Structure 1
Amino acid sequence: MERRYDLDWLRVLAFALLIFYHIGMFFVPWDWHLKNNIIYEWIMYPMLFLNRWRMPLLFIISGMGAALSLRKRTSIQFTKERFVRLLLPLLFGICIIVPPQIYIERLSNFEFSGSYFEFWPTESFKGTYPKGNLSWHHLWFLPYILTYSLLLLPIFHYLKRKPNCRLLQWTSKRIPSKYGVFLLLIPLFLMECFLDPFFPITHGLFDDWFNFFYNLVLFLYGFIFILQQELFFNTVSSYYKTYFKIGCITFPLFLFIISYADGWQRHFIEATVNQINMWTWLLCFFGMSSQFLNKKSKLISYCNTAVYPFYILHQTIIIIVAYYCKDKDWSFVTKFLFITLTTFLICFLLYHFIIRKMKLLKIMMGFK
């Protein structure tokens, strides 16, 4: 099977957008670890747009990655690879990467005074966040992917051995249809309707029922899309322009609903529009990348290796840089560009000149 470079590009671009998103969190009214001295409400709108599909895209791509990995590995090899590439970076992140974020937050909120080495390690492992200081913060994605990989492994093997099972027969009839593929939204829609109101997102894995099962389904969909990749990529390549148009219509409609709709029925209308909007953008992006980005290049080879260390490092660097400029009398554009360029530059320097040259750091950063 030939490598799909479009999926590499989508993965790199999705994680790059995650960096921009976390920088945006510094400026919006929403709660975050550190806030700028001036809050800009208008930034909520591009952030809301990204919020519809940024994490679903990553979970589907991760499910696709699991399918591709299982093509050339046994169950034991796959499990070992998951632990090495997910659990080790998570533990390293909890112990080394995340504590500076919590230290800066405590300084900013006047909850701690003193040097970093007075905070770490004596204070950094006392209690769980937010009351305590132990957390995985932005690395919450890793334990979810690891858990999904282990939980779904028996199902993955069943689907590989039984290509004519009822589930795959059902999806094989819906995926080739321009609108039939939207039937896959039914479980996601039901979860938003009936789980989301009762289980707010916590990223805590064990108390995050809506978020956990919602993303588990997306992860499974990614696996199925690779099993039926000819059908899937033919569909999204053929109809991505239609999906783009639907996405452009449903996002303003979503904004209108959350701003003006009222009554008991609002939640169900919002869930319907939200899921359609999310799904059309995902299908659009997969279609566009399949059409235009499925090409080998040295740049994507480099970025595909660098993206994981960038993901692990980025939020700590953002918070440190933002802390030292949060009270500066700079315009939004100046401050945003400064934090963005500094974050990418420091990530690049650490990755290119240190991480990829040291075997232990490569392991801790999830290198293959």
Structure 2
Amino acid sequence: MIVLPWLGQNIMTDIKLSGRRHDLDALRVLCFGTLIIYHTSLAYGTRTWLLNASDGSRLIDLIAAGSHPWRMSLLFFISGLVTQSLLRNRSISEVRTARTRQLLLPFVLGVLLIVPPQFYLSQHNPFPGLSYWEFWKAYIVSGLRFEHLWFLAYLWIYMFLWSLLWPCIQRLCPNLPSAFANQLRGAKLLLIPIIFLSVLRVWLYPIFGETLVISTDVYAHLVYFPMFLAGSLLMNEPSFWREVDRQRWVSGGLAILSFLIIATVVLAVPQDYRPDSLVIPMRIVRSIFQWCAILALLGFAARIANRPNPVIAFLNRSMMTYYVVHQTIIIIVAYYIAKLGMLNISSFIPVMLITAIGCGVIGEAQKLAMRYLPVVISRLVALVRVPTKLSPPGAALD
């Protein structure tokens, strides 16, 4: 009889804490992949976005409701895990330097070059009627906007803070990671994070909201920075990963149940007509869905995606490029489809597929440029550096 280990309730995974974590690679690809679907859905849902289809659908809103609560939190958690894992072969200063180079360069270039076309083509263009060059200059002077690239800025800040905190933790509280993992056992693995997220969502979200502006985004920082820290603390704690594996079915079941509740409310009651008595219960249900989905994905990924996969490896190498360019591709494609009068629900899948293909093409072009551009530049430099031969003294002139 063939047994699928990820289906077996009594089969424990071999918790692998050294070497490459292929499950984290798979989850990273999943998160960024759903980000393309999520941002495409914003053009076809009922929420006002940069561009909106003529027939926004609450059914499409389910994509955001089913992915947004957990996706960014999981990305920050994975980022904490990966950042901590880099310490196996590097010092803190080396990790900080490497992550700064990986995050800040695409962030700066993205904010200056990739984000502006989104506003130029959007229905909220602050400078209509200008040529793109004139728009770009006015846009830069009036104040830069991060749009989807806020994640890179936040992640760099959290990484920098971690690089300052981690030496202090090692010196003053070396047992903190294991003590933290010991607290997340049994029902507490579910209850402690759900209560924490519910408190933030019920009491702080109404006050601060999510601004995606670094200096004012209090609520988001209190959600995402602890997620990053939790990942860094739990990376090397086998007891945590065993507990996640043991409770994967419970967390998966709760995630499905809570999402069904959210989906029912989204489809049955429009946002503007929801009674006040429903607001707090829905925020708690959303917190349950957020954490249980993260746990379930971590648990099942460790079972299913624990071996090298060529497709995941291929995609993982270009994820940063896909992330930086995908929203601009969505806006450009949606804009020209709208010009044809075809920006309706029937164009949702084509826009999503064209975006994915465009990301792939740009990602491969970048790889080729990184591989061959230094060679081309070095050869051009060699051509212009023609050595000058000095004539010997007394040589006759032609």
* In 2, Cα distance between equivalents of 1:288 and 1:342: 30
**Conserved? CA contact 1:37–1:327, under 8 Å:** no
Superposition CA RMSD, Å: 2.6
**Conserved? CA contact 2:209–2:219, under 8 Å:** yes
Aligned partner of 2:131 in structure 1 is 115
- Does the alignment pair 1:249 with 2:257? yes
Render the CA deviation track for 1:12-58: whole Å, top value 9, x for unaligned: 11000000000000111212111122222221123211122111111
- Please show how residues 1-368 of structure 1 align to structure 2 within 5 Å: 1-105=18-122, 111-120=127-136, 122-128=137-143, 134-160=144-170, 165=175, 167-177=176-186, 179-228=188-237, 230-255=238-263, 259=269, 262-263=275-276, 266-330=278-342, 332=344, 334-352=346-364, 354-359=365-370
Aligned AA (1:153): S
Instruction: Output the TM-score relative to the length of structure 2.
Output: 0.81
Secondary structure of the equivalent of 2:213?
coil
**Conserved? CA contact 1:355–1:362, under 8 Å:** no
Aligned AA (2:139): S
Q: CA deviation at 1:114?
A: 4.1
Q: CA deviation at 1:223?
A: 1.1
* In 2, Cα distance between equivalents of 1:252 and 1:301: 33
Question: Based on CA coordinates, which of the two structures has the bigger radius of gyration?
Answer: 2
**Conserved? CA contact 1:250–1:276, under 8 Å:** yes
* In 1, Cα distance between equivalents of 2:29 and 2:372: 21
Task: Indicate the larger mover: 232-241 or 290-299.
Answer: 232-241
**Conserved? CA contact 2:44–2:60, under 8 Å:** yes
Aligned length: 352
Render the CA deviation track for 1:231-259: whole Å, top value 9, x for unaligned: 22222222212211111222233456774
Render the CA deviation track for 1:61-103: whole Å, top value 9, x for unaligned: 1111111123322122122112211111111111111111111
Matched residues, percent identical? 27
* In 2, Cα distance between equivalents of 1:220 and 1:97: 30
**Conserved? CA contact 1:356–1:362, under 8 Å:** no
**Conserved? CA contact 1:5–1:294, under 8 Å:** yes
* Distance verdict in 2 for CA 1:293–1:169, change over 3 Å: closer
**Conserved? CA contact 2:104–2:152, under 8 Å:** yes
**Conserved? CA contact 2:115–2:145, under 8 Å:** yes
Unmatched segments (≥5 aa) in structure 1: 129-133, 364-368
Aligned AA (1:198): I
* In 1, Cα distance between equivalents of 2:372 and 2:168: 36
Aligned AA (2:314): Y
**Conserved? CA contact 2:252–2:293, under 8 Å:** yes
Q: CA deviation at 1:261?
A: 7.1
* In 1, Cα distance between equivalents of 2:191 and 2:230: 12
Aligned partner of 1:131 in structure 2 is none
